[in-house]
Structures are given as structure tokens and as C-alpha cells.
Amino acid sequence: MFKHIHHSMEENMMNDVHDVIKVYYQLSLDSFIRHVTNDIVENFVTCLEGPLMGLSTDWVLALSEEEVRQLARDDDETVRKRAHYDDVIRRLEEASAIVARARSQTRGLGEV
């Protein structure tokens, strides 16, 4: 019990060193965060030639039709799949029209 209440000089020194390290770490961390935020992130976001300026209305409105078409186009695989499924849909619609025609032409045959 006496040891817990009355620390030795070594323990006091160790606690003091730990306290100094904790304070130094907190100050360094605050300085690091401030540096990253102010000098790196803000410059990246506000730079007129930066990649984020692509999100501005002025930049988008200045794009030519060809540039918009390039940015908005589908990749080759998607184009191929879309053409395939468009063909499948067209053939199914043709088959459905044939079935509807056959149904209307054969409607009266069973009543004879």
C-alpha cells in the first residue's frame, strides 16, 4: 500500500517522461493535421488546374459535344451486350406478333 501512495523517484521520473511524450505527441498530431488540411488538402481542392475542378459547372459547360460523348460513352463490353439484348428483344417481339396473328387466325377453327 505504501508503494502505491509514495512513488519512488524512478517512477516519478518515468511518469514525467510519459507525460512529456503524451503532450509532445498531441502537439505534433495537431500540427500534422493542420499542415495536411491547410497546405495539402485545401490546395488540392482549390487549385484551378487540379482534378477536382472537373466538377465545376464552368468546366462542364465548356466541354464540346465530342468531349461529352467520350466521357459519357459506355465501354465496348456494355455496347456489345446492349446490341445482343436489343436483338433478343427484337426477335421476341417478332415472335409475339406471329403468335398474336396465329391466335387471331385460328380463333374460329375449334368451334366447327
pLDDT digits (tens, 9 = 90+) for 15-28: 899 999 999 999 99
Sign of CA dihedral 50, 56, 59, 63: positive
Q: Using CA atoms, how far apart are residues 66 and 112, in angstroms rounded to an integer?
A: 65
Q: What is the mean pLDDT of residues 104-111?
A: 82
Sign of CA dihedral 29, 35, 37, 41: negative
Q: Using CA atoms, how far apart are residues 95 and 101, in angstroms rounded to an integer?
A: 10
Q: Using CA atoms, how far apart are residues 18 and 35, in angstroms rounded to an integer?
A: 25
Least confident of 45-59, 60-74, 80-94: 45-59
